Structure 1
């Protein structure tokens, strides 16, 4: 008679990273400065940053239950639906009025928010407000969209490579995207890419130039994204903004701003702030919960710098809470444009 040895499997959880001081490297070349080519993603609990070229993608397909497609907010992309369902029937003539009226032009001063994906709100609002309507399975009746790829941060505008036409429909749990340059009318020269949903990601991405593309890391592998983004000015117009910080609201991340000096400030400084000091803090799941609140950008007055009177609390999808402050981002504050310096620390309950 033989005995059976009981096997016990132990799960060893990796503790959250305690924090660090680091530089977010958005530069592909030292001379880029404000025109930083990369979006930088930061995962605080792992202490890891990743970066991807902003112009490496043109569209992203949502991997959740809703069927949605987004366009490239980091390049100021814009789109509009046509009352046409045939890709071959759309030509450059369909862009004439759009070009004349700047309908799909998003730059540093003005643009139509109806032609860009939502620039604020929580993740549900983002999905429900995309320029592309909910994607359906009926290929024949799916409308053609004209897309302006955007030129945010680009120093050279190339209109002949900026305008595309595309239509999107579902095949099982995958998105099928047909597209071509605006003046291409020969169907055999159209391109098609099929992108399957992947539950590990918020979105999977594609490019007009190379079909598939990588951009966002897996959902649990990032908390904030720094770089260029479509946003809005005080008049409510869509504009392109550098040095913008988005939170991963699709991954359950929330954030709160803490102002600790000046009129009405009652809280502790970054150095003294502890886990227990969160009493009364209201966290936000809005994508722009940090946005541009961390810096003052006023080149004309020569006062651009990070704000020294505030920091942010970032609660990740696992419930870890980090305090985050921006140390520099421009020569005025001892930094370098395109390489902002940050400090983040894990807040832990008192023993």
Structure 2
């Protein structure tokens, strides 16, 4: 499979077309140019998460270890864990006082709250990989009105960024283990209150996270005891490049639990981003198929709006005689958070030395 190279940065500015408001009145859209982008993933340890706004070409970057918990700012009270650092979380049975929980109490539970155990049951310790967090029964449950109804959880804090040597063509997504915390999350009318402590500590700390209507999530770094901005504001990002905890299968339909994926692309479900894959016909080149695809060719029935893995790992292959490379027989159609349509193709996933974590892609408005 031939690895494609970027041929240039010259693209035409095209007027975006055919977006309608809810009452079917035409909306005048500003011109948008296609772009070639190289998100700063950071190499084979993939230390960074990158959030891309297709309408402007802006990219926002953070370290994967910058945050631990994400607090939803919508109507529900939902809290997510950091999938990118191989984190996991589970309820501590019969726990009522966070300060009285000791390492001995959860010794057996620590062996279970892990990623990559090839046990289908361990999916309950992660957030729903498809991104439907509002309805998930795994991870941290919906925060209840009554304090005593909210469970105390054991949080596997995941792993630091690996800082050693990595064989060319390979990735290592996790370094030293970051430890364990016990947490309990409560609610007020407009905010979350989290109680937290390291597992070996006998007294907890508290932090209040207020909702902010400008963002879909507020993010908290527990070790630094501070909030951090990770996602851009609402509708200001479409695709995210990240390490990702996904469901893995050992055979067709045979789940093997959670497993960490590198070189992963998620879409912004909360703001209505959808995507689908277009396969290049036999006998046609990717260049020809991509260039020929127009707005009229969009099949609206194929858009995936209910799974953040619509692109996921489907754009690249990491095994085989040619090593890690992008597929040359497909591209993707995106409906962005602000209603634009784009075609997008991946050109590389390595640099000239063969090091992973150097993805390049191009996209054009339809």
Bucket of the pairwise TM-score, normalised by the shorter protein: 0.7 to 0.9
Per-residue deviation at 1:154? 3.5
Per-residue deviation at 1:232? 1.7
What does 1:1-351 correspond to in 2, within 5 Å?
Answer: 15=30, 17-27=32-42, 33-82=43-92, 83-99=94-110, 102-107=111-116, 112-120=122-130, 123=131, 125-129=132-136, 130-151=138-159, 154=162, 157-159=175-177, 161-185=178-202, 187=203, 190-211=204-225, 212-235=227-250, 236=255, 237-262=257-282, 269-279=289-299, 282-285=302-305, 286-298=307-319, 301-330=321-350, 336-347=355-366
Per-residue deviation at 1:337? 1.6
TM-score, normalised to structure 2's length? 0.81
In 1, distance between residues paired with 2:162 and 2:96? Answer: 32
Per-residue deviation at 1:97? 0.7
More displaced stretch, 321-330 vs 148-157: 148-157
In 2, distance between residues paired with 1:108 and 1:344? Answer: 38
Q: Deviations over 1:99-142 (max 9, x none)?
A: 3xx3111149667111100112xx5x322214111102322442
TM-score, normalised to structure 1's length? 0.84
In 2, distance between residues paired with 1:157 and 1:268? Answer: 43
Per-residue deviation at 1:271? 1.4
Per-residue deviation at 1:216? 1.2
Per-residue deviation at 1:14? 7.3
More displaced stretch, 164-173 vs 276-285: 276-285
In 1, distance between residues paired with 2:228 and 2:75? Answer: 22
TM-aligned CA distance change 1:34 to 1:127, over 3 Å: farther
Per-residue deviation at 1:85? 2.2
Aligned length: 320
Per-residue deviation at 1:34? 2.3
In 2, distance between residues paired with 1:16 and 1:85? Answer: 57
Contact 2:160–2:175, Cα closer than 8 Å, also in 1: no
Contact 2:237–2:337, Cα closer than 8 Å, also in 1: no
In 2, distance between residues paired with 1:199 and 1:167? Answer: 24
TM-aligned CA distance change 1:146 to 1:43, over 3 Å: same
Q: Deviations over 1:304-333 (max 9, x none)?
A: 21001111011012220011111001258x
Contact 1:76–1:107, Cα closer than 8 Å, also in 2: no
In 2, distance between residues paired with 1:248 and 1:108? Answer: 28
In 2, distance between residues paired with 1:303 and 1:261? Answer: 24
In 1, distance between residues paired with 2:286 and 2:326? Answer: 21
Per-residue deviation at 1:13? 7.7
Q: Secondary structure at the match of 2:356?
A: coil
Output the aligned Cα RMSD. Answer: 2.6
